[in-house]
Amino acid sequence: MDEESGTGEPQPDDTEQTVLILTGLSGGGKTAAAKLFEDLGYTVVDNLPGELLAELAELVSSDRDRFAQVAIVLDIRAGDAPLALAAMRGALEGRGIQPRVVFFEAGDEVLIRRFSETRHRHPLADGRGIASSIAEERRLLEPIRAEADAVVDTSDLSLRQLRERLFAQLATTARPDQLAIQIITFGFKHGVPLEADLVFDVRFMQNPYYIPELRDHSGLTQPVSEYVLGQPITEQFLARTQDLLDITVPAYVAEGKTRLTIAIGCTGGFHRSIAIGEALARWLRTRDFGPVAIFHRELERR
């Protein structure tokens, strides 16, 4: 992640006790996220031995004014991370606190570069090389990723973008009969978001890039949006995608899924994907499927 500063982002609702568990791959962005929450006044606990997690849960629950906002970093260093997370989550829920688990990850090439730049040792380093350590960590943490409330791919995020993603996630609280839905628009030439559950390719639509007066304007602008949404094939795509989601979202909820990340991609992620993503978000918000957040990954590349 590039170093960027920014202020003025909305803070998460702290009218009730907020306990976050920050987990994920080594080098995936947990430390950067922890610093962001620390700046917001959160009590941040990092690298606590697994044997002390129950005591931490007791401490957090016993003084809810002092520990109104807590972020706990829990990862592979705890040993059996899935077991440690289950114990921590169970201890908190047993005391009436519902923690939110955020899983951070990045692409292998990005992780390798980050370890190379920082010269940090991977926690699972055993002489087989960093790529093997990353692959093993992914395997060990897959149960945590599958159960996380949010998954954040930090591969191409600046600190400001990371802050925006985290605030969007914190503001997304679904009822038991709903999904927390996140839409990510992206450009295929920059890679598919790792956290995507569903991926839609809209490169078959006519591209505003080749219209000189539209080229420099994003899909958030009215002229580009009207150009993309006005295509007959776009109308068919949205209608059939909506039919698909009408079928699948209730089924996801019935299966116990709590979050759904929909990725919509075009070539550069600046025109078609943004226009379609915004249109789909507007429709989803009329369906009471759950809270909807949208993030345009490539918007700042232009």
What is the secondary structure of 97-161 as a DSSP string?
A: ---EEEEEE--HHHHHHHHHHHTPPPTT--SS-HHHHHHHHHHHHHHHHHH-SEEEE-TT--HHH
User: Average pLDDT, stretch 185-201?
Assistant: 94
Note whether 22 and 130 are same-domain residues.
yes
- Which residue, among 290, 293, 292, has the nearest Cα to 253 in the 3D structure? 290
225: containing domain = 180-301
**pLDDT at residue 39 greater than cutoff 50:** yes
How many domains, the chain?
2
- Which residue, among 167, 165, 202, has the nearest Cα to 278 in the 3D structure? 202
Q: 96 by DSSP, 3-state: which?
A: coil
User: Average pLDDT, stretch 172-180?
Assistant: 74
Note whether 34 and 149 are same-domain residues.
yes
Any domain includes 8: no
Note whether 199 and 163 are same-domain residues.
no
Give residue 273's pLDDT.
Answer: 98
Report the chain's mean pLDDT, rounded to a whole number.
88
The enclosing domain of 137 has a CATH number of 3.40.50.300
Q: What percent of the chain has pLDDT over 90?
A: 52
Any domain includes 11: no
Of 170, 202, 228, the one marking the end of a domain is: 170
pTM of the model: 0.69
Give residue 173's pLDDT.
Answer: 63
Note whether 31 and 58 are same-domain residues.
yes
With 0-12 CB in 10 A as exposed, 13-18 as middle and 19+ as buried, what is 283? middle
Note whether 105 and 33 are same-domain residues.
yes
Any domain includes 37: yes
Note whether 82 and 210 are same-domain residues.
no
Total residue length of the chain: 302
Note whether 156 and 185 are same-domain residues.
no
DSSP for residue 65: T
Bridge partners of residue 71, in order along the sequence:
20, 44
- Interval 129-146: pLDDT, tens: 889 999 999 999 999 998
Provide the pairing of β-strand 180-187 with 292-296.
Answer: parallel
The token pair that represents 136 in the structure block: 């093993």
Of 170, 195, 223, the one marking the end of a domain is: 170
Any domain includes 10: no
Note whether 208 and 148 are same-domain residues.
no
- Interval 240-299: pLDDT, tens: 999 999 999 999 988 878 889 999 999 999 999 999 999 999 999 999 898 898 999 998
> Is residue 264 a contact partner of residue 302, using CB atoms and an 8 Å limit?
no
Any domain includes 184: yes
Note whether 158 and 33 are same-domain residues.
yes
Any domain includes 5: no
Of 170, 204, 220, the one marking the end of a domain is: 170
Note whether 70 and 136 are same-domain residues.
yes
Any domain includes 9: no
**pLDDT at residue 23 greater than cutoff 90:** yes
Note whether 166 and 238 are same-domain residues.
no
Q: 265 by DSSP, 3-state: which?
A: strand
Backbone angles phi, psi at 225, to 5 degrees: -60, -45
**Distance from C-alpha of 266 to C-alpha of 245, rounded to nearest angstrom:** 20
**Distance from C-alpha of 271 to C-alpha of 220, rounded to nearest angstrom:** 8
Note whether 201 and 244 are same-domain residues.
yes
